[in-house]
Structure 1
């Protein structure tokens, strides 16, 4: 037997197995307070569950530009994991028959994107690898968590204006008080200076056209 038919025979045995590994993901998932739960269901062609799986979560609109968020392996002895992913994301995973449940936390509004589940069958052979169709993870921006840059600048500007006005009022008050005190002092001094003088009384006996003064 030549080698060519043998090669085609081997490919015919392995290609159906390769194509039989499939991943199913939900179309859309909405997060809550920066956390989202995503499940990746998989169909393995073997009679038994894989003894070792590696699960990787990717982010990106196009598969060519996708970025790895987090990854970990599952075995019969370790069916859960928790890792620190890229940026501030944290991933927790739980393995169930035909399914991997992922919980991603530490997400923000700008993390809204398509996320792909990638599963690799590490053992038993043959080695298999495939990707899901992607899930749109929508992460609502939490109100009050962070203000937009323009709003923060506006608030800082209003605070600066208020502080400047308060300082101007305080300075004006400190300048007016000495002036008022000086004026009151002058008035009191004048009252003391002229308080002991007896006013002149005009007397007229009628004989002259002018009066006598005492």
Structure 2
């Protein structure tokens, strides 16, 4: 999943980006200090998967991987511009990230979709075995 954090200051060189989770952004997922001369920075997270930051076209693109359905929430960026002055602190409105996961119900649905194919295959095999038995019996009776 990707979240785009817009940098409003085109001259920003040194900044700190924090990814916040929750309706009010009370859970900090990651924080990274970046220099706009860096184009990519990878961070390892323990409980929320991997996070990769990429500076592109006046935005910090935060890529989250290894997410599960339980990670569905509102995510927002908090950006602090340290240099050049003046110091700025910006917080985004938030992005609703909906992570789809496989539930036991969806796996059951997949199984029931394959069931007619399995049933047809079994019926064809049973009919083929019956035909072979009839041919064998016919040759034995005629002999």
TM-score normalized with structure 1 length = 0.45
Match of 1:81 among 33, 38, 41: 41
Alignment of structure 1 residues 10-159 onto 2, 5 Å: 36-44=1-9, 48-63=10-25, 66-85=26-45, 87-142=47-102
CA contact (8 A) 1:69 1:86 kept: no
Give the secondary-structure state (helix, strand or coil) at the position aligned to 2:70. Answer: helix
Q: Which residue is equivalent to 1:160?
A: none
Gaps of 5+ in 2: 108-143
The structure number with the bigger radius of gyration is: 1
Whole-angstrom CA distance in 1 between matches of 2:54 and 2:22? 23
Question: Would you identify which runs of 4 or more consecutive aligned residues in structure 1 move more than 4 Å?
Answer: none
**What are the superposed Cα offsets for residues 72-126 of structure 1, whole Å, 9 maximum, x if unpaired?**
1221442211112351421101112321111101111011000011111011122
Gaps of 5+ in 1: 1-35, 148-214
CA contact (8 A) 1:70 1:84 kept: no
Give the secondary-structure state (helix, strand or coil) at the position aligned to 1:130. Answer: strand
Larger RCO (alpha carbons 8 Å, 6+ apart): 2
Query: How many equivalent residue pairs?
Result: 105
How far off its partner does 1:143 sit? Answer: 5.4
What is the Cα-based RMSD across aligned positions, in Å? Answer: 1.9
Whole-angstrom CA distance in 2 between matches of 1:73 and 1:143? 38
Give the secondary-structure state (helix, strand or coil) at the position aligned to 1:110. Answer: helix
CA contact (8 A) 2:76 2:94 kept: yes
Whole-angstrom CA distance in 2 between matches of 1:101 and 1:76? 13
TM-score normalized with structure 2 length = 0.66
